[in-house]
Amino acid sequence: MGISSGFTRLHVVLRVYCTCPDKVLKITPYEVPEHIPMAGPLQTFVHVCHENGRWMSRLPEKLWDIPLYNLALPGSHDTMTYCLDKSSAVSGNESKLVKFLNKCLPCIVRPIIMKWSITQVLTVTEQLEAGVRYLDFRIAHKTNDPSMNLYFVHMVYTTVTVQDILWEILRWLETHPQEVVIIACRNFDGLTKRLHNHLVACIKDIFQCKLCPRNVVPTLRTMWHLGHQLIVSYEEEVELEKHCELWPPIPYWWGNKTSTRALIRYLERMKRMGRPGKFFVAGINLTENLRYILVHPFGSLKKMTLQSLPCLKIWIKQQYPGPKKKCINIIAGDFIGNNDFVKDVIELNTKINLPLHCQ
């Protein structure tokens, strides 16, 4: 989900314009208006709710024996974009046009790239502390880099390496022994077979027995008993066949839409088709194109996301976790420290009754 033919596949989260009419808006289920009222000026706060840092350990006991893929889990989309390197080369996976424009007009193109590439402002530790339990890792090896260093990427590379972040996650897990985290390793821009072997070896060496093998039914009670805290999804079939500690790719519902209504219709259509059997992600991400960026020359991903939060909140609160056809599992968003996104997703688990019920 990078750029193709210019800026045609940059990510944003739900677009909605901000108006402040006096009348009350009535919204029926799954009807999301393009215009939604927001009280006062645009909210730009970032809040880390430390009470969410241990939310799994505080779930009622009736939920301890439910597989994690039947619970509601908050996720962050493009987790590592908070540390993109402003001076980095453009990713080798981007189009020749983007590379050419960046080379010829860096003073104009580079600020645009940064405005539409950054999807998070909280560090990975802050995201985990805020309650996020699904991390979206886009991993890459820099073009012409002779070292084995791996980075994260979203148009440009990050300032930190993958190995440094894995150690950071381990430190957090060690202080939160009853929390479980899911990592989706994706994209693999520029990774050779040798680099894949290196990455998997790092994952296994760092996390060791904390890794949950894919033959385990991942309930909280089971994982607590076995000492497992990490599920690693890996989008490379060869490595999956060799390592039982790696889980298969997690389906990501990506709408590829430019309007909020179209995205919600897409997500509801996917729900009607039926949820996957295990982990999957409902991505609350719009995809703008070059025309959209030109029409909004002073816009940014952050502005669009903050304006979308009321609309996003409405859709989330209508969801139900569980195993049935229209239930959800992971919901991933941008700028997760804003508003009550994480809290709203966590609270969906209060709707679960035994036997599991999904309305």
Segment 39-57, tens digit of pLDDT:
344 444 555 666 799 999 9
Residue with tokens 């800026």: 7
CA distance 127 to 50: 10
Predicted TM-score (pTM) of this structure: 0.85
Name the residues annotated as catalytic: 77, 154
What is the 8-class DSSP label of residue 90?
B
What's the confidence (pLDDT) of residue 220?
98
Average pLDDT over residues 338-347: 91
Q: Is the pLDDT of residue 66 over 80?
A: yes
- What mean pLDDT, rounded, does the chain reach? 84
CA distance 92 to 111: 19
What's the confidence (pLDDT) of residue 17?
30
Query: Binning pLDDT at 50, 70 and 90, where does residue 13 land?
Result: very low
What's the confidence (pLDDT) of residue 158?
97
Average pLDDT over residues 100-129: 82
For residues 194 and 34, the model is more confident at 194
What's the confidence (pLDDT) of residue 35?
43
What's the confidence (pLDDT) of residue 2?
44
Domain annotation for the chain: domains and CATH numbers: 50-349 (3.20.20.190)
Other Cβ atoms closer than 10 A to 297 = 7
CA distance 210 to 231: 9
Query: Binning pLDDT at 50, 70 and 90, where does residue 6 land?
Result: very low
Alpha-carbon distances, residue 356 vs 71, 273, 348, 352 (angstroms): 10, 20, 13, 6
Least confident of 33-37, 142-146, 239-243, 320-324: 33-37
* Contacting residues for 335 by C-beta, under 8 A, at least 6 apart: 13, 46, 119, 120, 121, 302, 305, 306
Instruction: Take residue 255 and report the two structure tokens written for it.
Output: 């709408």
CA distance 36 to 32: 9
CA distance 52 to 304: 25
CA distance 188 to 196: 9
Query: Binning pLDDT at 50, 70 and 90, where does residue 308 land?
Result: confident
Q: Is the pLDDT of residue 87 over 90?
A: no
Least confident of 16-25, 182-191, 212-221, 266-275: 16-25
Could you tell me where the DSSP H helices lie in the chain?
96-104, 106-117, 124-130, 162-174, 193-207, 220-226, 237-242, 260-273, 290-295, 301-317, 341-347
Least confident of 101-105, 294-298, 330-334, 351-355: 101-105
Backbone angles phi, psi at 73, to 5 degrees: -125, 130
What's the confidence (pLDDT) of residue 107?
67
Query: Binning pLDDT at 50, 70 and 90, where does residue 227 land?
Result: very high
What's the confidence (pLDDT) of residue 287?
73
Q: Is the pLDDT of residue 22 over 80?
A: no
What's the confidence (pLDDT) of residue 310?
83
Query: Binning pLDDT at 50, 70 and 90, where does residue 323 land?
Result: very high
